[in-house]
């Protein structure tokens, strides 16, 4: 089993509420994603921004911080893989804003890693870097890219052996590809909550203009 990394250091500017703390049924969003990912990955690391407040998490989940702000997912990926390199050979990486994440999707992506260094879902030419599996051995390449201020994940895929997994193949584990449906705006959040059979609390509706 691979480890798991949850990146939650984004600014949530389009959402208008810290994504990690959005209510989702009986849990908050980060708590739900950690629980679901924990069914298919172990151990787990959460990567937060430098001064970001997080909701309570189980004590076995390790929390680390981005070293520098504003450098995108590669910065968080670097921190997460550094925290896991003595505990796992690879890690599935996700954002904290995928409440409909499917554990079978995570297992299938982990299986597809094979002897590659990265396995990433692709929809046509579009990769999904926050639904991918990375070996901890890619850390030096990530550090090199960060030092050169080359912050796009595609630069990493060009440097190491990468398995590009068609989203069509992934429908076997997640027919509607809900694992790839991240929440960017209040309407996305409302839709996901309703798909899960919950309602958004009235005070959150008012705050988000729903």
pLDDT digits (tens, 9 = 90+) for 8-62: 977 667 887 899 999 999 999 999 999 999 999 999 999 998 889 999 999 999 9
Mean pLDDT for 62-83 is 91
Torsion, Cα of 203, 207, 208, 209 (10° steps): 90
> Is pLDDT larger for residue 13 or for residue 5?
5
pLDDT over threshold 80, residue 122: yes
Interval 79-106: pLDDT, tens: 999 999 999 999 999 999 999 999 999 9
Number of folded domains that form the chain: 1
Mean pLDDT throughout 172-183? 96
Domain range spanning residue 108? 3-208
What value does the mean pLDDT take over residues 173-186? 95
Query: What percentage of the chain reaches a pLDDT higher than 90?
Result: 86
Higher pLDDT, residue 69 or 208:
208
Task: For residue 94, give the CATH number of its domain.
Answer: 3.90.550.10
| Rounded CA separation 18/11 (Å) | 7
Judge residue 188's burial from the number of C-beta atoms within 10 Å of its C-beta, 0-12 exposed, 13-18 middle, 19 or more buried. middle
Question: Which region among 63-72, 97-106, 179-188, 189-198 has the lowest average model confidence (pLDDT)?
Answer: 63-72
How far apart (Å, rounded) are the C-alpha atoms in residues 70 and 76?
A: 10
What pLDDT is attached to residue 12? 66
pLDDT tier at 177, thresholds 50, 70, 90: very high
Question: How far is residue 126 from each of residues 89, 121, 123, measured CA to CA in Å?
Answer: 26, 8, 5
173 vs 76: CA distance, rounded Å: 27
Q: Residue 142 above 70 pLDDT?
A: yes
């Amino acid at each position: 089993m691979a480890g798991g990394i949850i990146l939650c250091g984004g600014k949530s500017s389009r959402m208008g509420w810290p994504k990690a703390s959005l209510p989702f049924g009986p849990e908050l969003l980060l708590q739900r994603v950690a629980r679901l990912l924990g069914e298919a990955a172990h151990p787990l690391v959460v990567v937060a921004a430098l001064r970001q407040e997080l909701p309570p998490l189980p004590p076995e989940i390790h929390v680390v911080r981005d070293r520098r702000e504003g450098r995108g997912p590669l910065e968080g990926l670097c921190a997460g893989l550094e925290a896991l390199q003595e505990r796992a050979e690879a890690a599935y990486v996700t954002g904290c804003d995928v409440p409909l994440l499917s554990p079978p999707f995570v297992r299938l992506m982990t299986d597809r890693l094979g002897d590659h260094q990265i396995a990433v879902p692709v929809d046509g030419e579009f990769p999904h870097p926050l639904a991918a599996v990375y070996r901890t051995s890619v850390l030096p390449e990530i550090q090199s890219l960060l030092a050169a201020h080359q912050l796009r994940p595609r630069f990493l895929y060009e440097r190491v052996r990468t398995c590009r997994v068609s989203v069509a193949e992934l429908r076997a584990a997640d027919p509607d590809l809900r694992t790839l449906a991240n929440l960017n705006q209040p309407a996305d959040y409302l839709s996901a909550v309703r798909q899960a059979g919950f309602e958004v609390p009235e005070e959150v509706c008012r705050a988000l203009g729903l």
